[in-house]
Amino acid sequence: DVVLCDITMPGLSGPELVAWINRERPELAPRCVFMTGGDGGSEPAELDARQRGLWLEKPFDAATLRATIARLLAPAA
């Protein structure tokens, strides 16, 4: 599984969702990808996602999305 998560969502922010995933489904935490059309923020989860390359700036194309998902699902080298 891969979680594609927008940064800004009604009722629950992307970082809040990822914090919940870290508590309740920690096995999915390394497979969370943030998407944003804004300038981004400085939440720790956002910064970590940027550092790990798990950050998609909108608009992105299907090839970029597929490559990101493939990188997440690839066995660790």
pLDDT digits (tens, 9 = 90+) for 19-55: 898 899 988 888 888 888 765 555 555 556 554 657 8
Contact indicator for 52, 29 with CB cutoff of 8 Å: no
Q: How far is CA 18 from CA 37, 61, 62, 63, in A?
A: 18, 24, 23, 24
Amino acid letter for position 16:
E
Classify residue 14 by burial, with Cβ atoms within 10 Å: 0-12, 13-18, 19+.
Answer: buried
Q: Tell me how far apart the alpha carbons of residues 54 and 56 are, in angstroms, rounded to a whole number.
A: 7
With bands split at pLDDT 50, 70 and 90, how would you rate the model's confidence at 14?
A: confident
Contact indicator for 7, 14 with CB cutoff of 8 Å: yes
